[in-house]
């Protein structure tokens, strides 16, 4: 990964105008789409589609951060179309959704638990329970990753926290970075983190993005507690299947397991941290307050998002909180910008009548033959569609932002489960992929050098098939539970 980074720096230095070149390509592509003779597509819808292509090219070739590229797209819609069709309140309407505040509050809570060290302490204590048994270490690694999923919404932060832990485990077992043991460990860290992202509503911004688009269509999105109930059984199935599959596909060397030592590296880390600090206790208390209020929402009626932002604000109180002014600057504003625009895409598509055309010309030919099968058919069609698009759009968050409004609207027009369509869109964007570039979490772990491309294609290729099967198998359950528990 270091070599790749160096190559990237050299490339950037050798070709300083490359981003401008791709910016020009994006403009050219938009002009071509804008002047294509497309039957049945309203003029404003064609301009919106052309600008959308412009934005996607900026995303694919990383000309601008995804959030800023999305804002530019919305601004161009207001300037070029504007008027009563796409005024600013429509183009930027997603920023009025409570989901934006939920993610902002979750980011602040995550900063508090990471900055004070309480998240890292919990991870180390959990991992320590595994002792010298590698299987137990892996089980508690999954548990630790799941706990971190509720402590911080950033998968990037979570896997970064595990890198020194992984190094300690390798050292304790005397394993090299190019061993199958190392690749096995990397797989468990990644999918344990995915479990944390799936089980908790705030475990990933992908969940609120998909559900925010659901709210735009049917006026409903789940609370923290409801989401947890929806996901308990599917997550147990996913975790058990993934754990066993990783052990079968990339089993660690038996000789390394046979000569296992004690996990002294984790004990040393805990010793370095010393006793729990006042700041850690405060961060843990604020987090516990948020969770209690999230779980008891049916009794007090305060929305999950308002709880998150309220507790996030309290974290700044002098003498009481644990965050300072810099914490505001450290929020992933690019994610917030992307989310705000993404939640408004549904309104934009309706305003220019692009949603109806896309459904008839793009999704219907692909999904109509499958939806007659029922929830499994809908899940299969959406997952395959998202899987293909995800090759072009590296970011899972960006893929969800683009496709979930379209897929939710398709389900609504076809009279099938809108909630299931939103759920499957989120799960397939997050779980079904093959290459490292398709998710930031994997890129970070790839930088450890614990896995080569052959192991990657074998391990994540088979996992992609398993995740596709899992999503399809869970579709009837989700379709049922999401109607029963609201």
Three-state SS sequence of 63-98: CCCHHHHHHHHHHHHHHHCCCCCCCHHHHCHHHHCH
Q: Which of 31, 60, 93 is the last residue of a domain?
A: 93
Residue 290 lies in a domain: yes
Nearest-angstrom CA–CA distance, 467 and 212: 24
Residue 209 belongs to a domain? yes
**57, 108: one domain:** no
Report if residue 379 sits inside a domain: no
Mean pLDDT over all residues of the chain? 87
Of the candidates 345, 342, 329, 419, the residue with the CA atom closest to the CA atom of residue 379: 419
What's residue 190's pLDDT?
95
Question: What's the mean pLDDT in 156-168?
Answer: 79
Residue 336 has pLDDT above 90, yes or no: no
204 shares its domain with 249: yes
Does the residue 247 lie in any domain?
A: yes
Domain end call among 305, 333, 361 = 333
What is the H or E stretch that residue 203 is in? Answer: none
Q: How many residues does the chain have?
A: 486
**Is 88 found in the same domain as 225?**
no
- Domain assignment present for residue 375? The answer is no
Radius of gyration of the CA atoms of the chain, in A: 23
Do 31 and 133 sit in the same domain of this protein? Answer: no
pLDDT of 443 reads: 80
DSSP secondary structure, 279-334, as one string: HHHHHHHHHHHHHHHHHTHHHH---HHHHHHHHHHHTTSTTT----THHHHTS-HH
Number of domains in the chain: 2
Alpha carbons 183 and 454: distance in angstroms, whole number: 11
Pair 37, 126 in one domain: no
Q: Are residues 63 and 148 in the same domain?
A: no
Cα–Cα distances in angstroms (integers) from residue 293 to residues 29, 150, 204, 310, 451, in the given order: 49, 14, 19, 11, 41
Give me the pLDDT at residue 345, please.
83
Q: By the 8 A CB rule, do 70 and 338 touch?
A: yes
Same domain, 72 and 121: no
430 domain residue, yes or no: no
Residue 191 placed within a domain: yes
Higher-confidence residue of 290 and 480: namely: 480
Buried b (16+ CB within 10 A) or exposed e, 293-309: bbeebeeeeebbbebbb
Per the domain annotation, does 485 fall within a domain? no
Q: Are residues 224 and 115 in the same domain?
A: yes
Same domain, 221 and 323: yes
pLDDT band at 281 (very low <50, low <70, confident <90, very high): very high
DSSP state of 485: -
> Which one has a higher pLDDT value, 220 or 13?
220
Point out the domain boundary residue: 93, 108, 141: 93
**Same domain, residue pair 155 and 48:** no
Is residue 42 located within the same domain as residue 178? no
pLDDT at 466 over 50: yes
- Give the whole-angstrom CA distance, residue 43 versus residue 394: 30
Q: What is the pLDDT of residue 5?
A: 39
Give residue 88's domain range: 14-93
- What b/e readout covers 124-145, taking b as 16+ CB neighbours within 10 angstroms? bebbbebeeebeebbbbbbbbb
For residues 267 and 310, state if they share a domain.
yes
Q: What is the pLDDT of residue 8?
A: 40
């Amino acid at each position: 990964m270091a070599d790749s980074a160096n190559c990237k720096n050299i490339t950037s230095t050798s070709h300083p105008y490359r981003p401008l070149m791709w910016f020009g390509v994006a403009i050219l592509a938009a002009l071509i789409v804008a002047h294509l003779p497309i039957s049945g597509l309203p003029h404003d819808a064609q301009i919106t589609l052309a600008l959308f292509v412009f934005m996607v090219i900026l995303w694919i070739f990383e000309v601008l951060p995804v959030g800023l590229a999305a804002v530019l797209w919305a601004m161009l819609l207001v300037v070029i179309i504007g008027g009563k069709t796409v005024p600013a309140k429509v183009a930027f309407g997603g920023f009025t959704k409570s989901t934006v505040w939920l993610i902002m509050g979750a980011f602040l809570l995550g900063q508090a638990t990471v900055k004070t060290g309480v998240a890292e302490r919990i991870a180390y204590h959990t991992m320590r329970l595994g002792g010298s048994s590698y299987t137990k270490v892996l089980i508690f690694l999954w548990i630790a990753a799941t706990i971190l999923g509720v402590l911080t919404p950033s998968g990037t932060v979570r896997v970064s926290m595990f890198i020194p832990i992984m190094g300690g485990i390798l050292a304790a077992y005397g394993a090299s970075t190019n061993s199958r043991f190392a690749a096995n460990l990397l797989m468990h860290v990644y999918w344990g983190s995915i479990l944390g992202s799936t089980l908790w509503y705030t475990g990933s911004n992908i969940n609120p993005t998909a559900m925010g688009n659901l709210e735009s269509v049917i006026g409903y999105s789940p609370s923290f507690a409801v989401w947890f109930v929806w996901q308990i059984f599917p997550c147990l199935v996913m975790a058990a299947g993934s754990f066993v599959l990783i052990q079968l596909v990339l089993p660690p060397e038996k000789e390394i397991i046979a000569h296992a030592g004690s996990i002294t590296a984790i004990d040393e880390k805990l010793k370095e941290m010393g006793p729990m600090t006042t700041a850690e206790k405060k961060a843990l208390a604020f987090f516990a307050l948020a969770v209690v209020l999230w779980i008891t929402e049916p009794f007090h009626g305060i929305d999950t998002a308002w709880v998150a932002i309220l507790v996030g604000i309290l974290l700044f109180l002098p003498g009481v909180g644990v965050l300072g002014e810099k914490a505001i600057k450290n929020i992933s504003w690019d994610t917030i910008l992307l989310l705000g625009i993404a939640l408004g895409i549904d309104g934009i598509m309706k305003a220019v009548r692009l949603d109806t055309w896309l459904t008839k010309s793009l999704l219907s030919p692909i999904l109509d033959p499958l939806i007659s099968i029922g929830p499994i058919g809908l899940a299969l069609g959406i997952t395959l569609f998202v899987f293909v698009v995800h090759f072009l759009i590296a970011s899972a968050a960006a893929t969800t932002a683009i496709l979930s409004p379209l897929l939710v609207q398709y389900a609504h027009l076809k009279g099938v489960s809108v909630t299931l369509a939103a759920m499957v869109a989120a799960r397939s964007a997050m779980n079904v992929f093959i290459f490292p570039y398709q998710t930031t979490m994997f890129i970070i772990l790839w930088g450890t050098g614990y896995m080569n491309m052959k192991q990657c294609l074998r391990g994540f290729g088979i996992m992609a098939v398993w995740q596709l099967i899992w999503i399809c198998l869970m579709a009837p359950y989700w379709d049922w539970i999401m109607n029963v528990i609201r």
